[in-house]
Chain A
């Protein structure tokens, strides 16, 4: 059981959280033409880094999204910030 720190609620068990996406993914403007490859990159491509990662998570009990930096090997949580202040 890992402990993640929700920027709003503090440290909570991992079971309260929901992995949303890797951070930094921007939805293309779908009212403009987008190639299949571009859309597939947005939809499916993952960095899936080994080591430090930046991800968007949801704390399901307060429903807030936030950005978490953690290490995908050691599982150390390196930091969390509210998404709305992050600008990503």
Chain B
């Protein structure tokens, strides 16, 4: 036994015992323990294995700096990978296993790998596994690598809250400086949030003898009470993990094992950084043996958890701040031997645990070695925000320099390690005044890795990077600090270099004979500590991820047994009824062709464009000429991009010379709206044109088929439906049951069709009336799948399906405006480019299969007979129930000029002979359309 629980002290509740298992063995702990403190209290030394050599690893630190104790934890049927033992509160019944070790951390079968370390140094894998082939070696290497195993279980209640919040002042860190800053700011009347990642505030206060003459615990309680009384918000168990643009700070709040953390997006007017400092390891021979620990960490284990980590402790420290920690350990009854590292190289003895320490040939017994190589301020968040760092030779540390944002560092985070000064800085920052760092009593003897030293000296404990690796990287000229990091993997472990980076930089400086600031630092990247991916997800999940748009008639469709499918972001009926999908769709298509079909067209965009300049504006944004469009008339047309590509197709309705309705594809409404607005405000007088989206306000019921006129007539609308009075491509505004009604005679099927639009609140009444009338005429509701067949039979395109991002209007047979329109329009000049004039453009065609042949695969390509060069591809294919044979639409090179040519459809290596034809298989003369 090495570590033990003290009879008193710490923040644990000795009346609340908890049980845990570690690598299969039962242990006990108390409420308030972390997994690491409980294991240490039980004398457990080996808590894990290193990444590469599988060397035994003990707990190094008591906080976010511990790189060694990583666990797979199970509790209440829930398993989490890579749980950091030093920061995870212990819960009753936890089943804890070390990662990367089998069967246990203590007796890991891969421990023998360490014997081969001389061949597994930095970057060894770049130099071998080349012959015969990397793929031969990779699977085995993958299995060796990795830390924890992640289970395939999905926990449905593992959902992170996402909170947007704002404050005047965000204080990060609830130690003495942070507390006083928070209180001061709150008492000035500012909205202050104080975050601390421990279960309660206090920070390093617990290690002090007295603060402002008071007992530290009482002082902390008093500060917190005053802060809360002044309206301050305290978030404990909460880590500020990153600072983003415009002073947005990401916070992550933990709620215990297995519960998803809450993520806060905290916008702070100003930020006070009181994140403290970490103790650095001393780089010496064999310094990775379990039982070598952070001195500050050991003191933390006493004051927070009532755990004395060793019985005979050697302290290797080079700095003034060590005295406070030594006093804590001394007070807890530890036997301490001081080893002054300035007096000569130190070697740690032991293999599976510390067995002694020697200096200048004298070996002394110790079961624990506590190291303090100097304090490193935690400046990660400072760097995230773009703050500069200044190297301080007195402190041998990087300190916050200039900040581009309203952020100030106080206390140990600012390199101010003296309590009185830290409190003063906190108060100054809390009051919103600028902080000037004063002279310090802190002093240290620089103690950095010495190149050429004997023995294996660890720099990165988890990733097994030793001083020799750094020397080798330097020898091979991987001297840039980023090359060093990437080549050796130094600082890339789960702790992201919190223990390793400074020693690594110093070692490289020393090898090269330059100063530490000349080496520079690697970039500090968020998150400050690893956080679950779920934290970025939350309720923005499943149906709430890109929610589908809903039709006003959805309930009626459901009642009619519609198969609701997603089309262009809308949930729309695909077909109706139960049973064979293909047969149902065919029945609907045939019904619409022989009698009448009714479909819900409400998702089509309906954008009102109004004003004195509306006509000229539409004439500019449309490929087609709009100036000649008269009230009561409709025109089909394209909107192009400036690149001349078809962006959307649709029908423009002219209500009056100053009022138009632009209909657009269901999925394109938002885009078309943006497109119209952008042009409206660019080069036009926006006071003379108004664009207004009315899509959600109107529901549209479309009636199509030979009996369509009878069905509409049955509604009893005040409107002459006669063929002569109401021609194709015209529009009537009328009323129905007291509400405005628009009827457009426009067809997407090739048969006589009426699009009836009514205010959305009357949609159900209209639908029911239309369906009832349709039933009387042998028809009924049809879904989008049938509509899609009908329109393809007629050769009507769907933009995005039968066109691609290169299709220009003349590729679709709409060539007239390109040749004749004299006024400017969007995309016009691009239609005159070399590209637009190519004969090899992909043009819309139909494809006929040979008699009796099956329908083509949509997505098949068109090739010359026996050829292997793609001429284009099939955009739609179906065995037409109306026509009794398969039809297909395709985009084919120069297709418009190849009607009648025999080619092949190529699909996954198989070929089928087809003939190119016009893209219209139904009523080519338009008799039914105009009927």
Q: Do chains A and B touch in the complex (CB under 8 A)?
A: yes
Judging by beta carbons under 8 Å apart, are B642 and A43 in contact? yes
A1 with B245: CB separation less than 8 A: yes
Q: Is the CB of B677 within 8 A of A65?
A: yes
> Which of chain B's residues has its CB closest to A65's CB?
B681
Question: What B residues does A56 contact at CB under 8 A?
Answer: 682
Whole-angstrom CA separation of A63 from B828 in the bound complex: 25
A5 to chain B, nearest CB (A): 11
Q: CA–CA, A65 to B683, complex, Å? A: 12
Contacts of A74 in B (CB 8 A): 386, 404
Task: Type the 1/0 row for A46-88, where 1 means its CB is closer than 8 Å to any CB of B.
Answer: 0000000000101010011100000000110100000110000
Chain B residues, Cβ within 8 Å of A34: 829
User: When the two chains form the complex, which single residue of A3, A28, A29, A43 contacts B246, counting CB atoms closer than 8 Å?
Assistant: A3
A30 touches B824 (CB 8 A): yes
Chain B residues lying within 8 Å of A27, measured Cβ to Cβ, are 682-683
Residue of A nearest to B244 (CB): A1
CB contact between B678 and one of A30, A36, A43, A65 (< 8 Å): that residue: A65
Q: How many A-B residue pairs have CB under 8 A?
A: 54
CA distance A56 to B683 in the complex (A): 13
Known: A1-B244, A1-B248, A2-B246. A43 touches B643 (CB 8 A): yes
Chain A residues contacting B686 (CB-CB under 8 Å) are 84
**Chain B: minimal CB distance from A34 (Å):** 6
Whether A58 lies near B245 (C-beta < 8 A) is: no
Measured CB to CB, the closest approach of chain A to B545, in angstroms, equals: 15
The winner among A31, A36, A63 for most chain B CB atoms within 10 A is: A63
Task: Give which listed residue, A1, A39, A65, contacts B682 with CB less than 8 A.
Answer: A65
A1-44 vs B, Cβ < 8 Å mask (1 yes, 0 no): 11100000000000000101000000111110010100100010
Q: Are the C-beta atoms of A31 and B822 separated by less than 8 Å?
A: yes
B47 at the interface (CB under 8 A from A): no
Complex Cα distance A36/B837, Å? 13
Asked if B674 contacts A60 (CB within 8 A), the reply is yes
Contact between A39 and B681, CB atoms less than 8 A apart: no
Give, as a whole number of angstroms, the nearest-CB distance from B409 to chain A. Answer: 20
Flag whether B434 is at the interface (Cβ < 8 A): no
What are the interface flags for B820-844 relative to A under an 8 Å C-beta threshold, 1 for contact and 0 otherwise? 0011110011100110000000000
For B687, give the chain A residue with the smallest CB separation: A84
B691 neighbours in A (Cβ, 8 Å): 63
Contact assessment for A36 and B834 in the assembled complex, using a CB-CB cutoff below 8 Å = yes
Give Cα distance in the complex from A3 to B245, angstroms.
Answer: 8
Chain A proximity mask over B770-800: 1 for CB below 8 Å, otherwise 0: 0000000000000000000000000000000
B907: which A residues are within 8 A, CB to CB? none
Q: Give the complex CA separation of A83 and B684 in angstroms.
A: 11
Contacts of B682 in A (CB 8 A): 27, 56, 65, 83
Q: Considering the complex, give the chain B residue whose CB is closest to the CB of A56.
A: B682
The complex places the Cα of A61 from the Cα of B267 at a distance, in Å, of 22
Give Cα A36–Cα B830 distance, bound, in whole angstroms. 9
How big is the A interface, by class? 20 to 34
Alpha-carbon gap, A36 to B833, bound state (A): 7
Chain B residue nearest to A38 (CB atoms) is B829
From known contacts A2-B246, A3-B246, infer whether A30 and B829 are also in contact, taking CB-CB under 8 Å. yes
Bound: A40/B465 CA distance, A: 54
Question: A29-B824, A63-B691 in contact; A58/B244 too (CB < 8 A)?
Answer: no
A16 to chain B, nearest CB (A): 12
Output the least CB separation between A49 and chain B (Å).
18
Q: A36-B834, A58-B674, A65-B677 are in contact. Are A30 and B404 (CB under 8 A)?
A: no
- How many residues belonging to B are interface residues under a CB distance threshold of 8 Å? 28
A72 to B248, CA, bound (A): 18
A43–B830 touching, CB < 8 Å:
yes
From A18, A31, A43, A75, B245 is in contact (CB under 8 Å) with A75
Q: How far is the CA of A71 from the CA of B830 in the complex (A)?
A: 33
What is the CA–CA distance of A65 and B834 in the complex, to the nearest angstrom?
A: 33
Contact (A30, B246) CB under 8 Å given A58-B678, A65-B681 = no
Please name all residues of chain B whose beta carbon is closer than 8 Å to the beta carbon of A58 when the two chains form the complex: 674, 677-678
Report A-chain residues with C-beta under 8 Å of the C-beta of B825: 30
In the docked arrangement, what's the CA distance between A28 and B682, Å? 13
Contacts of A63 in B (CB 8 A): 673-674, 677, 691
Query: Which chain B residue shows the least CB distance to A43?
Result: B642
**B847 to chain A: closest CB distance in Å?**
34
B245 CB contacts on chain A under 8 angstroms: 1-2, 75
Q: How far is the CA of A46 from the CA of B824 in the complex (A)?
A: 23
Chain A nearest CB: distance from B822 CB in Å? Answer: 7
CA distance A10 to B82 in the complex (A): 44
User: B385 CB to closest chain A CB, in angstroms?
Assistant: 10
| Bound: A65/B642 CA distance, A | 19
Q: Whole-angstrom distance between the alpha carbons of A31 and B825 in the complex? A: 9
Q: Which of B681, B823, B828 has the most CB of A within 10 A?
A: B681
Interface check B709, CB cutoff 8 A: no
From 616 to 675 in chain B, residues with beta carbon under 8 angstroms from any chain A beta carbon are: 642-643, 673-674
What is the distance, in angstroms, from A17's C-beta to the closest C-beta of chain B? Answer: 11
B829 and A20: CB pair below 8 A?
no
- The answer on a CB contact under 8 Å between B681 and A84 is yes
**Interface core residue of B248, B265, B677 (most chain A CB under 10 Å):** B677
Q: How far is the CB of B685 from chain A (nearest CB, A)?
A: 9
**B674 partner residues in chain A, CB cutoff 8 A:** 18, 58, 60, 63
Q: Quote the shortest CB–CB distance from A4 to chain B (angstroms).
A: 9
Closest residue on chain A to residue B265 by CB atoms: A1
Whether A31 pairs with B824 at a CB distance below 8 angstroms is yes
Cβ B677 vs Cβ A28 within 8 A: no
Question: What residues of chain A lie closer than 8 Å to B642, measured between beta carbons?
Answer: 43
Residue of B at shortest CB range from A40? Answer: B833
CB distance from A18 to the nearest CB of B (A): 6
| Structural contact, B828 and A1, CB atoms closer than 8 A | no
Q: In the assembly, what is the distance between CA of A43 and CA of B830, in Å?
A: 9
CA distance A39 to B829 in the complex (A): 7
Asked if A28 contacts B829 (CB within 8 A), the reply is yes
A71–B681 Cα distance when bound, in Å, is 25
Q: How far is the CB of A60 from chain B (nearest CB, A)?
A: 7
Measured between alpha carbons, how far is A83 from B834 in the docked complex, in Å? 35
Report the Cα distance A3→B673, complex, angstroms: 23
- The distance in angstroms between the C-alpha atoms of A29 and B674, with both chains bound, is 23
Nearest-Cβ distance from residue A1 to partner chain B, whole angstroms: 5
- Alpha-carbon separation in the docked complex, A77 to B833 (Å): 38
Closest-CB distance, A45 to chain B (whole angstroms):
13
Task: Specify the chain A residue showing the minimal Cβ separation from B827.
Answer: A30
User: In whole angstroms, how far apart are the Cα atoms of A83 and B683 in the complex?
Assistant: 10
Which residues on B sit within 8 Å (CB–CB) of A65?
A: 677-678, 681-682
Question: Taking the nearest CB of chain A, how far is it from the CB of B209, in angstroms?
Answer: 44
Residues from chain A with a CB closer than 8 A to the CB of B681 are 64-65, 83-84
Instruction: Output the nearest chain B residue to A29 by Cβ-Cβ distance.
Output: B824
User: In the bound complex, how far is the Cα of B677 from the Cα of A3, in angstroms?
Assistant: 22
Closest Cβ–Cβ distance, residue A77 to chain B (whole Å)? 8
Given contacts A3-B246, A43-B643, contact A30 B828 (CB under 8 A): yes
Nearest residue in A to B823 (C-beta to C-beta)? A31
On chain B, the residues within 8 Å of A29 by CB distance are: 824
Q: Which residues of A contact B822 (CB under 8 A)?
A: 31
Other A-B contacts than A30-B828, A39-B833, A63-B673, 5 sampled, CB-CB below 8 A, are A27-B682, A30-B824, A30-B825, A58-B677, A84-B686
CB<8 Å pairs between A and B, sample of 8: A1-B244, A30-B824, A30-B825, A34-B829, A43-B642, A43-B643, A56-B682, A84-B681
Which A residues are within 8 Å of any B CB, using their own CB? 1-3, 18, 20, 27-31, 34, 36, 39, 43, 56, 58, 60, 63-65, 74-75, 77, 83-84
- List residues of B whose CB falls within 8 A of some A CB: 244-246, 248, 265, 267, 386, 404, 642-643, 673-674, 677-678, 681-683, 686, 691, 822-825, 828-830, 833-834
